[in-house]
Structure 1
Amino acid sequence: MIMKNLFSVVMCFVALGFVSCEKESVQEAPGNIPGMGNNQGQLEISESFDMPEDISIVGTITGAVEEEEITAASLKSYSNWDSFGSGQDVILKVTLQNNSVSRRTVFFPKGLVWKCVAGDFQHGIQIQTTWLNLGAGETRTITIRLYCANLHMDTPDYSGIYEILGVTSSKVLWRFLDLIQWRMVNYEMYVDNSLKAGSSDLPEYTDMAAKLQTMIHKLTDTGETLSDEDIAFIESIPELPVEQRPVLESDGTYSEDILEYGQSNQ
């Protein structure tokens, strides 16, 4: 009887182990990321994001276009703002202020989640680190380009309000982000911001962004894994030369001694 009871206890633990493993695998599977796709639950992060000391966000972060549908005409509405990041579906307007007496560099890291907090719009995911400079006392309005994490929701317009939540903890997304490495996927790497060129003039960038968005929707919405063709496409994107990358300090932060992409000291 004792051996029978002991066997029953052991089998219960084994069964619980299988249930636990199954639950974890379902949670981590493509199409089952909390808060993304059609999934319930809160967006999950591994670390929060705070603006650097002496740097503040002026007003609110909103969608950058007036209409729900991003068109060639609506793109022109923000062509006077410098644009950073990668993506076509979620484009946000951010105004930053440097309250210090020296030039500062602001970094938005890979994996950053931009959460819609007002309006029924798509959440945004950032797939590559981007950075920009602010002169002493400067106030600067920019647009941040992101990828959509909710296929069924609308593209944000001016009425959508966002907050920077933090870096995603999704293992599914990080497998994709690790493939990106330091590949040149950011808008500013394809156009000189000083020219204020519209994305409609950049077929190389727009085609790439569209393919990457389809891959992300596989992971967030349709529950598919990346195909060999997807991975081959990612690996075909050139990497940013080492000398042009931000330097990671021992404390895990990036050195501010870098100009934004495409700028020089001259």
Structure 2
Amino acid sequence: MNWHVAKRMGVVLAVALLAACSDDGEGGGKTDGGTTSDGGTNTGKSLGPGLGRSKDDPTGQAFALPAGLTLENPIVAYVPENPEDCDDKYSDEANGTGEEVRVCLIFNNTTSTPITVTLPPGLILKSTSDDVQNGIIVQTVSIVVPPGERYFAPLFAYCVNQDRSTTGLDDRYELGPAVTHKDFQEVFTLLAGKKLTREAAGRVQTVVHHVSQGEGLSAADRATLQSL
């Protein structure tokens, strides 16, 4: 078995162990989106459009790419066990953090110089189906796109719709606005400059659920983020 095949098998096993963003209500003590262990109590509310249980389009600060750079749309889902669709780039080459929403950004740099695109915290990855979860990035992500290239960049993000279906290979996305809600801004401030491990990303996801569902940022949530 060569290293490439072995690596792929390892990724398949890791993905199989991931928990879905949505919950079917069976087992595990979950009740309507909250859990008995994380302090979440899903009130059925949403912090804003496109968040929590809202089916509306997300709103916020519009995002634009730098001049000379284009993004292929729709954005395709990224599945680590099938990286061929993202130029054979594995999880260790991905940008951002999060275990729930994973996409492959495909940029085209039409200039003769590298272009750095900076994705701000709060940027929404909007699903083209309102049955599938939207994503959010919680830290600044910078990607350098080489000159004259069609460049593939896996991007990991967090789920903001706990009641929707988890992202699948056939799901498609588009770049949305950057949300400006006060509670999320505090989350971004608390996470600025931190290097998040996979375990830490799971704890961040719990906080993102609380905030996106309109529950606010509790003292326990703040302590969680400060401890990372």
Taking structure 2 as the reference length, what is the TM-score of the superposition?
0.71
2:72 equivalent in structure 1: 58
Q: Quick one: which of 34, 49, 57 aligns to 2:63?
A: 49
CA-to-partner distance for each residue in 1:153-198, whole Å, 9 max, x for gaps? 111123222111121122222222222222223xxxxxxxxxxxxx
Deviation, 1:99, is 0.7
Find out whether 1:36 has 2:47 as its counterpart: no
Q: Quick one: which of 225, 234, 255 aligns to 2:225?
A: 234
Q: Quick one: which of 87, 94, 97 aligns to 2:108?
A: 97
Deviation, 1:236, is 2.6
1:183 equivalent in structure 2: 194
2:39 equivalent in structure 1: none
2:32 equivalent in structure 1: none
Alpha carbons 1:119, 1:160 under 8 Å: kept: no
The structure with the largest helix share of the pair is 1
- SS of equivalent to 1:84: coil
Which segment drifts farther, 128-137 or 53-62? 53-62
CA-to-partner distance for each residue in 1:39-87, whole Å, 9 max, x for gaps? 3543120x2111111111134202112xxxxxxxxx3322832310111
Instruction: Note the aligned Cα RMSD (angstroms).
Output: 2.0
Amino acid at match of 1:224: E
Amino acid at match of 1:77: N
Alpha carbons 2:183, 2:216 under 8 Å: kept: no
Q: Quick one: which of 72, 76, 79 aligns to 2:81?
A: 76
CA-to-partner distance for each residue in 1:134-164, whole Å, 9 max, x for gaps? 2211211121111100001111123222111
Alpha carbons 2:103, 2:155 under 8 Å: kept: yes
Runs of 5+ in structure 1 lacking a partner?
Answer: 1-29, 66-74, 186-204, 238-266
Identity within the alignment, % = 25
- 1:103-122 matches, within 5 Å, as 103-118=114-129, 120-122=131-133
Amino acid at match of 1:107: T
Deviation, 1:35, is 2.0
Deviation, 1:213, is 0.2
CA distance in 2, matches of 1:172, 1:235: 15
Alpha carbons 2:73, 2:174 under 8 Å: kept: no
- 1:1-266 matches, within 5 Å, as 31-45=46-60, 47-65=61-79, 75-78=80-83, 80-81=88-89, 82-118=93-129, 120-185=131-196, 205-221=197-213, 223-237=214-228
- SS of equivalent to 2:174: strand
Taking structure 1 as the reference length, what is the TM-score of the superposition?
0.62
CA distance in 2, matches of 1:157, 1:214: 21
Question: Which has more radius of gyration?
Answer: 1
Deviation, 1:34, is 2.4
Amino acid at match of 2:62: S
CA distance in 2, matches of 1:227, 1:98: 43
CA distance in 2, matches of 1:76, 1:161: 18
CA-to-partner distance for each residue in 1:214-263, whole Å, 9 max, x for gaps? 11111123x434343432232233xxxxxxxxxxxxxxxxxxxxxxxxxx
Q: How many residues align?
A: 178
